[in-house]
Structure 1
Amino acid sequence: MDRNKRQEFAIVDIETTGGNAKSSRITEIAIVIHDGNKVLQRWETLVNPGKEIPTSIFALTGIDNEMVKDAPFFEEVAEQVYELLKDRIFVAHNVNFDYSFVRFQLHESGFEWSTIKLCTVRYARKIKPGLLSYSLGRLCDYLDIPLENRHRAGGDADATAILFAYLRALDTGQVFQEMIKHKSVDQRFPPHLNPIEFEQLPEEIGVYYFHDKTGKIIYVGKAVNIKKRVLSHFTGNNIQAQRQHFLKDIHHISYERCGTELMSLLLECAEIKKFWPKYNRSLKRYEPKFSLFSYEDQNGYLHLAIGKTNKLHDCIQFFQREYDAIQLLQSFIRKGEIDAQFCQFGSASLTVKSTKDSLLPDRDLHNTRIERCVEEWLNQQSSFVLIDKGRHEEEKSCIVIENGRFYGMGYIDQYCQSGGFEDIRAQVEKYRSNYYMEELVRQCAEKYPNKIHFLSKERMSFVAAEPDMLYEKIKSNSLFSIV
C-alpha cells in the first residue's frame, strides 16, 4: 500500500439498475477521498449502463435513460475509478453491495482490484448501539447530518463522509482498528445482522436458522460447528443475485444444539419440511420416486395403488424402484386374498386375474382383507430406538422407529429406565416421517448396530444386544430391504 494513502479512505456510493452485480450495472458513482477528519478530494459521474433503467429504479433515484445516454460507459472511467480507490480503505454504507459492483465492473474493464473494506452500518452499530434503524436516512435524522439529493450517489456519499467522520470522533476505543483488520469478520456480516447474535453462537453440533426482519425463517442449516458454518455463509465475493438477496434479508440468527450429527441432520430435514424456507434448496434428490398407498373410491371400496411419491399423501411404504413396489403389492394379493381389480400397478403392464372374475366382492369383507394385510405387514416392521450421545453428559439422544417408520426424536435422562414403547414415545417429539430421514437412520443403524435397542411390550433397559445379531435383524427388516 502507498505510504501516503495508508490512512486515507475512499468513501463510495453508487446507483445501479438493480440489486446484484452480475446482471445489473452502475448508473452513477461518487467517490469522496477522506483522511478520517476532512475531505481531500471529491469525484462523481453518471454512467451509461448499456441497458434500460427499470421504472422502479427511476422512481427511487430519479435517473432515467435520457439522463445517462450521453454519459461515459464504466470502462471509459474505470482507470480513473481504479486510481482513486487503489491503496485506500473502501468505505460505504452497506459496503458489500457497493464493493461487489465496483469490483466486478473493474474486473470486466481489465483492472484487478481488492482492498480493505469498512461498513458504516456496522461501524454505527458499534459506536451508537440501540438505534431503531441504521439506514443512512434514519442515521442522518438521528444525528442531524445534512442529506441532500437522497438516493443519488453524490448526496449519499457526502452524507456518508460526514457520518464516517462523526463516528471516528466518537470512537475512543479500538473499534475502527479492529474493523479494518484483514481478518476481521465484521465486514463480512450481512448489513442488518447484529454481530452480538453471531458472537453468541456455540461452536457445537446443531441446527441454525436465519430470520428476516419480521422473524420469519428464511434458511435452515445444520453444522458440526454452528459458529464456523454460519460464518462461511458470509465469506467470499459471490455476486449471484440469490446470494446478494439472501445476505440482505438476514436480520437475526437462532440455533438449536444437537447431541449428534445424525440428530442435526434429522432436525434440519424436519424443519425444512415444516417451514419451507425461501432460500433452502429442496431435498428432492433424496426423495423416493414411488410409493404404495391406499385410498377409498366413491363406492366405499379400498384400493391399493403404486404411484409417484406425493409429499401431501401418506403412504404405506416408499420405494426407489417401481419393481420393489410391485413385488410387495403382488405378495399382498397372494397372501391376503385381495381382489386384483382393486390394485393399480403404476406404469407397469401387468395382467393379474381378478379373484372374482371382475364381479364386485362383498365390500366389508374386501376392505377387511386389505386393512388386515396392511396392518400385519406394518406390524412385521421393527420398532426400535437408536440411543446415542446427548447435548451434555446428563442426557442421551433418542430416535424412535415405530413399525419401520420414523416416529420422532428427542433427549432422555442419562439414567432413564423405560417401561415400554409408550413410555419411550412420550419422551420424544413426534415428527412427520419421510424417506430421507428413514434413510439416515437406516445408514446409522447398519454402521452402528450396538446403538440400536428393540422395543417390546416388556420393560426395556438400555442394554444393547450383540451387535452382529442386531445388524442382521436390521438388514433383514423390510424397512431396509424388500424381501
Structure 2
Amino acid sequence: MIDKSYAIIDVETTGNGIHGNRITEICIVLLKEGQIIDKFTSLVNPECAIPSFITGLTGIDDNMVRDAPTFREIAKRVLEMTSEAIFVAHNVNFDFNVIKGEFKKLGYSFVRKKLCTVRLSRKLIPGLNSYSLGKLCSALGISLEGRHRAEGDTDATVILFQRILSLDPDSKVINTFLNIRSKEATLPPHLKSESLEALPSETGIYLFKDQKGKIIYAGKAKNIKQRVLSHFYDKKNKEFALCQATHSIDHEITGNELIALLLESEKIKRHYPQFNKAQKKPIAPYCIISYTNRKGVVQLAIDRSDATSHSLEVFYTRAEAVEKLEQLCIEYQLCPRYCSLQSTTGNCSHYKIKNCKGICDGKESTALYNMRVQKGLAALKNDQKSYLIREQGRTLGEDSFIMIEDGIYKGYGFVDETAQIIRPEDCKVFLQLQSHTYHTTKIIQGYLKKNGEKNIIPL
C-alpha cells in the first residue's frame, strides 16, 4: 500500500463571506509518512482592500500585501503541492472553499479529497470542551505561535495531524472519512455524524443549535434528513455561516406538513433564531374593530393590531378589510362615514354606497342604527367558526388535529385514529396549546385554500 501524502493548509483572508473572500496569506506543508517533505508560505495580494477588523485579527494590512504576489502568480505552486495529496485543514471546508473560489476566478476547477482536523479530533480525541485550534493545542500541549497567521496556524495543525496519525496507525478512521459514501467531508466541523444518522426521513421540523444549545435556525421539511443535508451542500454565505455555527441538531416528527409549518412558526416566534429571516418581523394584521363615539353611535374602523384574538376579523391587506366593510355597509344599510370609509364631518357621500338611512345628518335614530350595526357585528362573529382540521399522524393508527375555536388557532394534538372528536372538550385533553399569530392565520388559510373542506370537522 502506497503511503498517502497530506497537504496541511491554512489561509488568511479578507473575510468578505465565502464568495467574496480573497486570500491574504497562505501556508502549505506537505507531509508523507508522517514527515514534512516540503513547505510553502507567502503573503498574497488580494487585489482589494483589507477590512480593518481583519487587520486587527491577523495583523495583515494593505501595505504588507501591496508588493506580494497575487494568487494567479502562486497558483501553479499551490497546484503542484496539492495535486497528489489529500487536502487537510482545521475546519477544512472553509480553507478549501476559499482556495476553490480563487481557482474558479482563474477559470480552473479545484477538486481534492479532504480531511478536517476538527472532525478527526472529535473522533479520535473525544471529550474536550472545545475543538478550536487554540483550545486543542492548549489541551494537547502543542505550541501555537503566530495565531491567526497562516504559517503559525499551519505549523500547529501539522503537529496536531501527526498526533492524529499516531492515534490511527492503521488509518481505519481516516479511510472511513475519505470514503466517497461518507458525509464526513461535507458535515459542519462541530457536528457529530451521529446527529445526522439520528435524523428521520419523515415530515417534521428540525432545529440547528449552537455550542450552548441555543436554537440558531428552525426549519420544516417533508423529509427531515434530506432537507438538513441540503444545508450542508449549499454554498451560499448564509448557509456556510449557519453550518459553521452548528454543534447539534434536534428534530420533531409531526406526521404532516401543516403541523410542521405551524410548529416551525412557533419556534421562530419563541426563540427568534439568528439565521431565520422569514416570520421574525412581527406583522400586525388589519382588523375590523368597533367602538362607541361621543354621540353614542357604534362606529366600525380598520386598525392594525397584534391582538388578533380580540379582533372581529383578520385581513392581510387594507384593501381586503375595506372590501369587507363596504360589504357590511351595503348589506346592513350602514353609514360609510361611521364605518371609516370616508373622512368627512358632514353627510356621507360615498362613491359606491348610497343606502345610508341618514344617521350622519340626524334623519335616523341612534338606537335603530346601532341595532343594525350589532347585527353586522354578530354576522362577523358568526363567520369565525370553530372546527378541527383532521390530518394524518406520526405513526400508523394515529391521527393529528389542528384546533380553531371562534376563528382563533388554539394548537394541535395527536389521537388514536378511531377517536371520535366532535366537541371542543373532546380534544382539549390532547391539545398542545400554541400562539395565534398573523403567520399561523396565514398558514391555516393557505391550507384551507389548497385543500378545501375535506379534512374539516365542525365543532
TM-score by length of 1: 0.82
Report the equivalent of 1:178. Answer: 176
Select the residue among 89, 94, 112 that pairs with 2:91. Answer: 94
Q: CA deviation at 1:405?
A: 4.7
Report the equivalent of 1:453. Answer: 457
Q: CA deviation at 1:338?
A: 4.3
Report the equivalent of 1:342. Answer: 338
Q: 1:186 to 1:311 in 2, by over 3 A?
A: farther
Give the secondary structure class of the aligned counterpart of 1:111.
Answer: coil
Task: Please say which of residues 365-374 and 419-428 is displaced more in the overlay.
Answer: 365-374
Q: CA deviation at 1:79?
A: 1.5
Select the residue among 172, 191, 195 that pairs with 1:193. Answer: 191
Select the residue among 394, 405, 415 that pairs with 1:402. Answer: 405
Q: Does 1:416 align with 2:434?
A: no
Report the equivalent of 1:355. Answer: 358
Q: Does 1:383 align with 2:386?
A: yes
Select the residue among 253, 259, 262 that pairs with 1:263. Answer: 259
Determine the C-alpha separation between the residues in 2 that align with 1:365 and 1:75. 85
Q: Counterpart of 1:12 in structure 2: which amino acid?
A: I
Give the secondary structure class of the aligned counterpart of 1:186.
Answer: coil
Q: 1:443 to 1:357 in 2, by over 3 A?
A: closer
Partners of 2:359 and 2:369 within 8 A in 1: no
Report the equivalent of 1:438. Answer: 444
Q: What fraction of aligned residue pairs are identical, expressed as a percent?
A: 36
Q: 1:297 to 1:209 in 2, by over 3 A?
A: farther
Determine the C-alpha separation between the residues in 1 that align with 2:437 and 2:225. 29
Q: CA deviation at 1:80?
A: 1.3
Q: 1:200 to 1:69 in 2, by over 3 A?
A: same
Q: 1:201 to 1:263 in 2, by over 3 A?
A: same
Q: Does 1:206 align with 2:199?
A: no
Report the equivalent of 2:346. Answer: none
Q: Counterpart of 1:441 in structure 2: which amino acid?
A: Y
Determine the C-alpha separation between the residues in 2 that align with 1:112 and 1:268. 39
Q: Does 1:226 align with 2:224?
A: yes
Report the equivalent of 1:304. Answer: 300
Q: CA deviation at 1:109?
A: 2.1
Report the equivalent of 1:164. Answer: 161
Q: CA deviation at 1:82?
A: 1.6
Q: 1:121 to 1:381 in 2, by over 3 A?
A: same
Select the residue among 303, 325, 328 that pairs with 1:329. Answer: 325
Q: Counterpart of 2:207 in structure 1: which amino acid?
A: Y
Q: Counterpart of 1:408 in structure 2: which amino acid?
A: G
Select the residue among 314, 317, 321 that pairs with 2:313. Answer: 317
Give the secondary structure class of the aligned counterpart of 1:219.
Answer: strand
Select the residue among 22, 43, 51 that pairs with 1:54. Answer: 51
> Which 5+ residue runs of structure 2 have no aligned equivalent?
344-348
Partners of 1:212 and 1:250 within 8 A in 2: yes
Q: 1:137 to 1:430 in 2, by over 3 A?
A: closer
Partners of 1:206 and 1:222 within 8 A in 2: yes
Report the equivalent of 1:477. Answer: none
Q: Counterpart of 1:389 in structure 2: which amino acid?
A: Q
Q: CA deviation at 1:316?
A: 3.3
Partners of 1:206 and 1:223 within 8 A in 2: yes
Q: 1:312 to 1:124 in 2, by over 3 A?
A: farther
Q: Deviations over 1:26-62 (max 9, x none)?
A: 1100000012511111111001112222222122111
Partners of 2:8 and 2:158 within 8 A in 1: yes
Q: Does 1:23 align with 2:26?
A: no
Q: Counterpart of 1:200 in structure 2: which amino acid?
A: A
Partners of 1:89 and 1:115 within 8 A in 2: yes
Determine the C-alpha separation between the residues in 2 that align with 1:217 and 1:149. 34
Report the equivalent of 1:294. Answer: 289
Determine the C-alpha separation between the residues in 1 that align with 2:270 and 2:298. 30
Q: 1:36 to 1:211 in 2, by over 3 A?
A: farther
Q: Counterpart of 1:277 in structure 2: which amino acid?
A: P
Report the equivalent of 1:217. Answer: 215
Report the equivalent of 1:373. Answer: 376
Partners of 1:399 and 1:410 within 8 A in 2: yes
Select the residue among 138, 142, 159 that pairs with 2:139. Answer: 142
Determine the C-alpha separation between the residues in 2 that align with 1:120 and 1:361. 84
Select the residue among 273, 277, 293 that pairs with 1:277. Answer: 273
Determine the C-alpha separation between the residues in 1 that align with 2:82 and 2:105. 16
Partners of 2:342 and 2:350 within 8 A in 1: no
Q: 1:75 to 1:361 in 2, by over 3 A?
A: farther
Q: Deviations over 1:281-314 (max 9, x none)?
A: 4269xx999844215488597643347x766756
Determine the C-alpha separation between the residues in 1 that align with 2:202 and 2:78. 44
Q: CA deviation at 1:244?
A: 2.6
Give the secondary structure class of the aligned counterpart of 1:399.
Answer: strand
Q: CA deviation at 1:419?
A: 6.7
Partners of 1:288 and 1:320 within 8 A in 2: no
Q: Counterpart of 1:422 in structure 2: which amino acid?
A: E
Q: CA deviation at 1:19?
A: 4.9
Partners of 2:269 and 2:279 within 8 A in 1: no
Q: CA deviation at 1:201?
A: 1.6
Q: Deviations over 1:57-112 (max 9, x none)?
A: 12211112221111111111112112212232110001111011101001212332
Q: Counterpart of 1:453 in structure 2: which amino acid?
A: I
Q: Counterpart of 2:264 in structure 1: which amino acid?
A: E
Give the secondary structure class of the aligned counterpart of 2:251.
Answer: strand
Aligned-residue Cα RMSD (Å) equals: 3.3
Q: CA deviation at 1:394?
A: 4.8
Determine the C-alpha separation between the residues in 2 that align with 1:135 and 1:298. 66
Partners of 1:388 and 1:398 within 8 A in 2: yes
Q: CA deviation at 1:371?
A: 5.5
Partners of 1:305 and 1:346 within 8 A in 2: no
Give the secondary structure class of the aligned counterpart of 2:20.
Answer: coil
Q: Counterpart of 2:239 in structure 1: which amino acid?
A: R
Q: CA deviation at 1:224?
A: 2.0
Matches within 5 A, 1:61-140: 61-140=58-137
Partners of 2:142 and 2:156 within 8 A in 1: yes
Q: Counterpart of 1:122 in structure 2: which amino acid?
A: R
Determine the C-alpha separation between the residues in 1 that align with 2:62 and 2:300. 63
Q: 1:363 to 1:207 in 2, by over 3 A?
A: farther
Select the residue among 152, 155, 160 that pairs with 1:155. Answer: 152
Q: CA deviation at 1:253?
A: 1.1
Report the equivalent of 1:481. Answer: none
